[in-house]
Structure 1
Amino acid sequence: MSDLQERGAADGDERPAVRRIASRVVYENPWMVVREDEVERLDGSRGIYGVVDKPDFVLVVPEEDGGFHMVEEYRYPIGRRTWSFPQGAAPGRRVVEPAELARRELAEETGFTAGRLRRIGYLNCAHGTSGQGFTVFHATDLTPGEPDREAEEQDMRQRWVSRAEFRELVAKGLITDDSTLAAYALLAMDGLPAG
């Protein structure tokens, strides 16, 4: 059984709603693989499904003094700068233990190290086109340091925002990252004050 079939059958059904018949890679680079699958649906009809395979990533919510440390950078696909929580995947599509990766991403993007790093959930993103997901961590007891950003992050800025300012940035369209908003919701559902 393929990984796609296993996911389809994970909810207790014996037969997945969509079954992969064949697959071919149509594009690949160090960050992703794009494939086209020939599939068969429950009624026997066939079709194709485009899938973007990317490794899971981590997102860190660094909280301090009633607010959050956030990063802002130019996002090429949308053509503008936006704010988000620090996040990322291991280079070269490598698999790294999530807590280790979270500590690395937090330090790289903000310079902070976390005295306490707590996992608060796992979510999927763009689940209509990709199996990629992300683990969300809440970081507290922060110690400042110097960021060590990758070349792609050379324009990145970082600063602290209050919870009220976080909501204002969302309202103004300056936070549009779905992963950041989902992490904020997880934090609220975790029983921690979210505003």
Structure 2
Amino acid sequence: MSRPAIRRLTSRVVYENRWMTVREDEIERLDGSRGIYGVIDKNDFAVVIPAENGGFHMVEEYRYPIGRRTWNFPQGSYPDRRTGVVPEELARHELAEETGFRAGKMTELGYLHGAHGTSSQGFHVFLATDLVPGESAREPEEQDMRQRFVTRAEFKELIRAGTITDDSTVAAYTLLLLHEE
């Protein structure tokens, strides 16, 4: 087995909370030169595409880091960096928590990384169908969340208009299109 292109020499945690750890690693490259690498370690999350009647159920909320509201597919992870999470269980939890819907059928479409140059976090994408409405149970951070149904044509227009800017939502839609081929 060949040596990795970048090898970690030392590592130190520079910040952590219940959602993430930020660390700074001293690294060595193949040519022997050294440097530092900042890494955000976060647990994987689930993105759920709740689909029915030729469209999707979307959620919108204020996103503090970008200072604006955006629409996206329901998504999230458990707090406290919980390990041993079954991706489908997380997807079902996020769907119910954010929209109130329960899925009769959950199909895994794939696994992706959103920022593999800076973060270890990836995400599992699920298609939720045979939806049954119910009550949502949003977290305090989601108290301003809105929900609505959009047709596929509206969904594409929201991307074009810059209303949907979430990379995991757009990537999940791409996996759905590949699944439907």
| TM bucket, shorter chain | over 0.9
| Higher relative contact order structure (alpha carbons within 8 Å, sequence separation ≥ 6) | 2
Q: Which blocks of at least 5 consecutive residues in structure 2 are unaligned?
A: none
Return the offset for 1:191.
2.2
Identity among equivalent pairs (%): 71
SS of the residue 1:63 aligns to: strand
Equivalent residues in 2 for 1:118-137 (5 A)? 118-137=107-126
What one-letter code is carried by the residue in structure 1 that aligns with 2:55? Answer: G
- In the alignment, which of 91, 95, 99 is matched to residue 79 of structure 2? 91
User: Could you state the TM-score of these two structures normalised by the residue count of structure 1?
Assistant: 0.91
Residue in 2 aligned with 1:28? Answer: 16
**Take 1:102 and 1:166, find their aligned partners in 2: how far apart are those partners?**
21
- In the alignment, which of 28, 40, 49 is matched to residue 40 of structure 1? 28
SS of the residue 1:91 aligns to: coil
Residue in 2 aligned with 1:166? Answer: 155
What one-letter code is carried by the residue in structure 1 that aligns with 2:155? Answer: F
**Take 2:78 and 2:100, find their aligned partners in 1: how far apart are those partners?**
17
Greater strand fraction, Structure 1 or Structure 2: 2
**Take 1:34 and 1:103, find their aligned partners in 2: how far apart are those partners?**
28
**Take 2:166 and 2:92, find their aligned partners in 1: how far apart are those partners?**
21
Residue in 2 aligned with 1:53? Answer: 41
Q: Structure 1 residue runs of 4+, over 3 Å off?
A: none
Q: Which blocks of at least 5 consecutive residues in structure 1 are unaligned?
A: 1-12
Residue in 1 aligned with 2:144? Answer: 155
Return the offset for 1:39.
0.2
* Aligned residue pair count: 180
User: Could you state the TM-score of these two structures normalised by the residue count of structure 2?
Assistant: 0.98
**Take 2:156 and 2:111, find their aligned partners in 1: how far apart are those partners?**
23
